[in-house]
Structure 1
Amino acid sequence: MIGHGKIEISERITKINDFKELKLVEVKRQLAHEIISISYGFLSPLRGFMNYEEVDNVVEEMRLPNGVLWPIPIVLDLNESEAEEVKEGDVIGFTYMGKPLAVMRVEEKFSYDKGKMAEKVYKTRDVKHPGVKRTLSYKEKFVSGEVYLVNVPKFTSVYSDFWLTPRQHRELFERMGWKKVVAFQTRNVPHTGHEYLMKFAWFAANDGLRVDEPRTGILVNVVIGEKRIGDYIDEAILLTHKALVDAGYISKRVHKLSFTLWDMRYAGPREALLHAIIRTNLGCTHHVFGRDHAGVGNYYSPYEAHEIFSKINEDDLLIKPVFIRENYYCPKCGTIENDILCDHDSDKQEFSGSLIRSIILDEVRPTKMVMRPEVYDVLMESAKKYGFGTPFVTEEYLNRRESIFELGDLQ
């Protein structure tokens, strides 16, 4: 058994015949990711999927019934026919892509108002919002209970080099001698604006420590999960961040790269809180929050993810947010600045995502002040090797990409 599950269940589920005797439910990718993340402790203090009381408390108050801060419901949905076959107290088995994954003792079956859940969590019921669309597409019933992983996921090629459990993160930080660790979340290939954010955050987190000793680290924690057409492909994100360090733009003494399995909800301020909790579980002491963190479209104001932390009691968080404003390259200053540090507004060159994407699509090498040449080269190599000719997600990529992880057969 993996993680924090109960021995009495896992000891009975050690052979494929034992597993096959259970009521089996095939789960989608999102649920497989959440089962793995719960089992390893990324989503601690959760030990499984939420019951009615937990969901309602989180929706209404952003807290679990015991008062612990938690902003987004983590739920397991079943259709009516699946739910009818499951009784409270049953142990059910989860499969993913036909392979055994985990078991769960059913605690409660319940229904919940999905419209209310969407409006409270995302501040809208607009189905154009991807989080709302996901919520409203949940099946008719929810089932709660603690989950126990029975099959260790084997991460493939690119991903295996960057997979660390929360415990392994903490052990790594201790070996590096880091007293403080600032988390930098990303779903993008790094341009020099991101490089600036990481370095600025390092200085902010390093406050009080000697700068001649690398006692503060930067953890770039990539979110690997559901992809939308036009996103950067996962392999390119990981490998280009590695290239930034391999080329020496950020020292390996203060930088590590890993990923978390999580399908983004684009819940803006609420998701910013969840990201802070996840990185606390990894052992980080600080977390970077920039413009439009976890936002989408115009559903949230640019710095709403900053503002929500002012409404949270400091005792509820074991991590310190580092707030960073939008930055740009100023030719007059010759450096990367933001709108507080520099008054050369008419000359600023913003790091426009659409502009950078158009440059990349045209296969034009960006200037060094936009993207490091080593990063660009790895990006193009990743496009050919993993993206079927493009570094951006396409239908072909979604249909033919290599699996993030594989599951073996139980004996």
Structure 2
Amino acid sequence: MAADNSLSPHGGKLKLSVAPSSEAPHLVAGLPGLAVNEQIAREIINLAYGAFSPLDGFMGRSDLDSVVRKMRLSSGLVWSIPIILDVSSREWAALGGVIGSRVLLNHQDQPLAVLDVSEVYSYDRAFMAQHVFGTNDPEHPGVARTMALEDTFVAGKVTLVNPPRVNPPFDQFWKTPEQLRSRLDELGWKYAVAHQTRNVPHAGHEMMMKGAYLASGADGILVSAVIGEKKPGDYIDEAIVLTHALLRAEGFFLPEIHETSTLMWDMRYAGPREAVFHAIVRKNLGCTHHMFGRDHAGVGNHYGRYAAHEVFDTLPDLGIKSVLTLEWWYCPVCESVAYEGICGHRDSKQDLAGTLIRSIISGGVGPAVTTLRPQVLEAVRHCAEKYGMGSPFVTSEYLENRTPVITVPEMACCTCPEHQPK
């Protein structure tokens, strides 16, 4: 049966903006160039392919202020996280950009996209941080990111002119929203439940996915692994996607009900607001449901354990159903994974999200099927050797030497055969 995408995309249709290859060289000719970092490059890709629909570019002041204050765009449509392009006033002045002009956005010293400048403005960064994250604590990573923004914001539609190449092993998992919807069609999924992850899957994750699959009545589970900014101690991206795919390959999920994909996104750790954002993006990918567990997108003690559950009570018009699950842990008395509200041995609980799994992966504790699949452990260690310079966790060496997730190819200066890149 065909996939039922009636609940998506957000706002009614995917906003696509990718220039035909034959036109791209002419669009970029003579434009002033602005170099963008990896975060902005990833957001350009999401804007151009529709993952951030209904946005088709970086927010203007009216939309930003409405999102900050009310968690809605100025149109009234729910949106929870600012998508903005920041630049220093000095750099912008040197660039000579003005409202109504076009600017070339470069990444890895190559053209990536064209920005049609619609507005240039400033905004109170401390005010933004307080409202989006509920705190101005400089130790909060989202607050730190916001306060580090430059003093000028440039709004406007972006058009991708040079689609980047997605490098292995991510190339087998990354799809545009259109491509992913087609894949859901192929699988025959009328209803799909999304599982957001930044972790190697342990037994609690597996049970969470299976529980959400049954609770939602979905036809399948879309694992959506977040690939973005990394910090020391995180799992390496390669291990995350390959171990989730392994669950399907090893038969822990039937192949017709489990699919692994990636989302290029830099976590803001905005707790309930980011939960809403994740739901909207997975809605654009074609999902009808999204599972949310304990402390989704949280950090430290800034949000309640189930704040990401409570926020959906205030958003009846979101258009994607949230599947809310409590906490899974390992119970040594039951010798199995236990669920909040069922197991009576809470005083003996072992947190699967913390040191237990990391000690298993690091070799300090022997693996047990009830905590971490031996096949997953083997795959993690293989990834450590192949991709992580010997470690399954992010190190400074990994950050310096890893193959980038995307590579922006050399762009031809025109369409003449003799000037095409070799």
Interval containing the TM-score (normalised by the shorter chain): over 0.9
Q: Hey, what does 1:128 align to over in structure 2?
A: 139
Query: For 2:376 and 2:240, how far apart are their aligned partners in 1?
Result: 10
Q: Deviations over 1:326-348 (max 9, x none)?
A: 11233554543212122232444
Query: For 1:322 and 1:247, how far apart are their aligned partners in 2?
Result: 26
Q: Is the CA contact (8 Å cut-off) linking 2:194 and 2:290 kept in structure 1?
A: yes
Query: For 1:12 and 1:193, how far apart are their aligned partners in 2?
Result: 49
Q: Does residue 1:93 correspond to 2:107, yes or no? A: no
Among 253, 259, 278, which residue is 1:250 paired with? 253
Query: For 2:265 and 2:18, how far apart are their aligned partners in 1?
Result: 24
Query: For 1:204 and 1:71, how far apart are their aligned partners in 2?
Result: 26
Unaligned runs of 5+ in 1: 207-214
What TM-score does the superposition give when structure 1 sets the normalisation length? 0.93
Query: For 2:155 and 2:199, how far apart are their aligned partners in 1?
Result: 34
Q: Is the CA contact (8 Å cut-off) linking 1:224 and 1:261 kept in structure 2?
A: yes
- The within-5 A match list for 1:143-222 is 143-206=154-217, 216-222=219-225
Among 232, 238, 242, which residue is 1:239 paired with? 242
- The within-5 A match list for 1:4-403 is 4-5=16-17, 14-15=24-25, 19-84=28-93, 85-206=96-217, 216-312=219-315, 314=316, 316-333=317-334, 335-362=336-363, 364-403=365-404
Unaligned runs of 5+ in 2: 1-13, 413-422
Q: Deviations over 1:378-402 (max 9, x none)?
A: 0000001100000000111111110
RMSD value, Cα: 1.8
| CA displacement at 1:355 relative to structure 2 | 2.2
Query: For 1:130 and 1:41, how far apart are their aligned partners in 2?
Result: 27
Query: For 2:86 and 2:33, how far apart are their aligned partners in 1?
Result: 14
| CA displacement at 1:359 relative to structure 2 | 2.7
| CA displacement at 1:350 relative to structure 2 | 3.1
Corresponding residue SS for 1:95: strand
Q: Which is worse superposed, 284-293 or 357-366?
A: 357-366
Query: For 2:252 and 2:101, how far apart are their aligned partners in 1?
Result: 54
- The one-letter amino acid of 1:257's match is T
- The one-letter amino acid of 1:66's match is S
4+ residue runs of structure 1 moved beyond 6 angstroms? none
Q: Percent identity at matched positions? A: 46
Query: For 1:223 and 1:294, how far apart are their aligned partners in 2?
Result: 11
What TM-score does the superposition give when structure 2 sets the normalisation length? 0.91
Query: For 2:280 and 2:195, how far apart are their aligned partners in 1?
Result: 13
Corresponding residue SS for 1:248: coil
Query: For 2:348 and 2:106, how far apart are their aligned partners in 1?
Result: 56
| CA displacement at 1:352 relative to structure 2 | 4.0
Q: Is the CA contact (8 Å cut-off) linking 1:42 and 1:282 kept in structure 2?
A: yes
Query: For 1:3 and 1:320, how far apart are their aligned partners in 2?
Result: 22
